[in-house]
Structure 1
């Protein structure tokens, strides 16, 4: 199948229907066959690396001509290293235990029966993503691993790259003898296709938007399908009087090392009023030395006139750049209230040597994940544990926190009468 033929795709409704039908088949496929498809995808990505990078160059040139923001260009630009990271993630997926069919204890037992739960695929899933072309391959691998079908809807900026990767996906499915409808690609030039796609609740089980807040919010507002948004940036750190300024500096810097998507980047620091100006000055200097732009609230600008004043709207928005804003707060309680009101809600950090404060912060902050004296840096392929992570969600409901393989599964309750045993 050629890239040109992939561009002739059915309407979103028909695409969703085909994905649903394919999910009924792939969900019953043996783990060895699904792993074979992921391995084929891995091999094809390596074999077609040159073609994918050439397609990406076309996207980059077109995006520069259209004055696409540098932030999106960074997300769009594929490198051999980024592709190799994708290959490593897919190889690890093959090695992981099959997440489907695992038996778990049920929260209750029906009288005179054996009651238990079993993990099952969700069904048909749609990924709507802005740039980040390698995410299509990673999501495809995760869906194959969990027995789901996948619809990919990328942005215009990455149209050539997404088509090249779609060809790789199709080839991998053919080699594994799986139906091609398991992994489908919607062209980016159909302006109304996102709205139509996210309303296919008859066929789709989940929609995952990935990109800037405007894309995520638009998807949430239009969707009738359950949405699992992946947020980026605008994470908060609380600096206690007992905390060390150098620890704060190290954590902020490390949290921005997730490239190209700074998912859990700390962009706001709340400084307790009792911290002395000398410590704050050392933090400012330490961040500037690492290339950060530092801003402050009115109180800090009065202390350090060289700071740029952060506007009120900035505290609720993600910079998604190496920019950090600092604010003085009267107490831990006020800091918690600010985090809950203004942060993205997917990660919050406290630097403190007080056990009481750490407990209060952990219990009080309404964030998907909480860190004490540790960096919230997001790593898609962590060395420890068995998780492969697509993103981070602040949404309560289907799933919250890290978007891993368990986010692509659900459970079935099974009740067996004794006559069946």
Structure 2
């Protein structure tokens, strides 16, 4: 039998699926207002998490995600305001035929299991209200106090509407105890480091999507300047609070000038990047550590790069198919090579001569998925299904 909070979420999802757009918008408006009011409490509770996490030896990566600031909260309010102004996602046009029609419906109950990124829960709470889905949240020990403060502001927002409080809940039950039930939720989203994601995926029997972090591959064609490549890499690492699509692996093609490669490696070393090379490049750069084979499919999530050599573009694409994640990019001056790359590479997100970055505010998305039934950017449309009616 499902735990009571999840049974309550299932009942609440029925109310949400029947709620008017005006009521869903009212709840979203209340959420935005409560977030503005609750900022001092959020920052105070977040400080407690940061202090206790240091005592628990939580990694610096997670601490960076966990930290809330006035600027981060202001950006989340901007994001939610943009979401509020967006059109009703239920009214997306659907193709019809003489004997049938279809329309958008919410998935039902969605879960977010995340590691140390409290802003993600606020964004998904807004998306759940906009799309009419119930939402359950689990954040782990590192953000216990912040998650409690977020739960309080969400409850305060819902209490001022006619929607049930169980529409958005924060769970204390460990994910393994309910993800293993195929009927617990209609979709689980997981965000965190590789080991954290693997733990949840191993326990899950319900549909699950992991939102990608890092391990973006960039192909460097020798026809472009080293400054262009350097700029692309560094800009991809400037996202805040997380480097969701940061370039961490660079494939160097055979036509890259060795002096250009040396320039980029030296500049990145001066900027504080840790770097590794494959066996081919190690012969030219013996002072740089070799990359272990296990690192190619995994994200670093910090200022670290691995360099790999391939003879041509086709071989580079094949390597990305083996080890890449949700995004890949190419820096090249040839239109034909750029077109061949985006046609052949299988990553759902492809960046041509620009830094790979996740523009959550502009696109109204919370992340990107590398694989599964909903690959690519994850936004409002991915929280909806369709109902087909035959006449």
**Could you tell me the TM-score, scaled by structure 2's length?**
0.96
Q: Secondary structure at the match of 1:25?
A: helix
301-310 vs 60-69, which deviates more?
301-310
- 1:338 — aligned with what? 319
Gaps in structure 1 of 5+ consecutive residues: 1-10, 417-421
Q: Secondary structure at the match of 1:119?
A: strand
- 2:384 — aligned with what? 409
Q: CA deviation at 1:401?
A: 0.5
- 1:315 — aligned with what? 296
- 1:22 — aligned with what? 12
Q: Give the length in aligned residue pairs.
A: 391
Q: CA deviation at 1:85?
A: 1.1
- 2:372 — aligned with what? 396
> Which of 212, 220, 224 matches 2:205?
224
Consecutive aligned runs of 4 or more in structure 1 exceeding 6 Å deviation:
none
- 1:354 — aligned with what? 334
What is the rounded CA distance, in whole Å, between the counterparts of 2:38 and 2:339 in structure 1? Answer: 50
1:209-248 maps to which residues of 2 (within 5 A)?
Answer: 209-248=190-229
Q: CA deviation at 1:329?
A: 1.1
What is the rounded CA distance, in whole Å, between the counterparts of 2:271 and 2:278 in structure 1? Answer: 21
> Which of 116, 129, 134 matches 2:114?
129
- 1:115 — aligned with what? 100
- 2:164 — aligned with what? 179
Q: Tell me if the contact between 2:2 and 2:184 (Cα under 8 Å) persists in the aligned partners.
A: no
Q: Secondary structure at the match of 1:309?
A: coil
What is the rounded CA distance, in whole Å, between the counterparts of 2:2 and 2:354 in structure 1? Answer: 43
Q: CA deviation at 1:203?
A: 4.4
Q: Tell me if the contact between 1:103 and 1:116 (Cα under 8 Å) persists in the aligned partners.
A: no
> Which of 149, 156, 159 matches 2:141?
156
What is the rounded CA distance, in whole Å, between the counterparts of 1:343 and 1:236 in structure 2? Answer: 6
> Which of 48, 53, 68 matches 1:78?
68
Q: CA deviation at 1:138?
A: 1.0
Cα deviation digits, residues 117-176 of structure 1 (max 9, x gap) = 211111110000001112111110000000000000111000010000000000000112
Q: Aligned-pair RMSD on alpha carbons?
A: 1.6
- 1:276 — aligned with what? 257
Q: CA deviation at 1:218?
A: 2.0
What is the rounded CA distance, in whole Å, between the counterparts of 2:346 and 2:93 in structure 1? Answer: 31
**Could you tell me the TM-score, scaled by structure 1's length?**
0.89
What is the rounded CA distance, in whole Å, between the counterparts of 1:142 and 1:102 in structure 2? Answer: 15
- 2:79 — aligned with what? 89
324-333 vs 149-158, which deviates more?
324-333
Q: Secondary structure at the match of 2:243?
A: coil
Q: Tell me if the contact between 1:198 and 1:224 (Cα under 8 Å) persists in the aligned partners.
A: yes
Q: CA deviation at 1:12?
A: 6.0
Q: CA deviation at 1:246?
A: 1.7
Q: CA deviation at 1:330?
A: 1.4
Q: CA deviation at 1:281?
A: 1.5
Is the counterpart of residue 165 in structure 1 residue 165 in structure 2?
no
30-39 vs 241-250, which deviates more?
241-250
> Which of 334, 347, 351 matches 1:367?
347
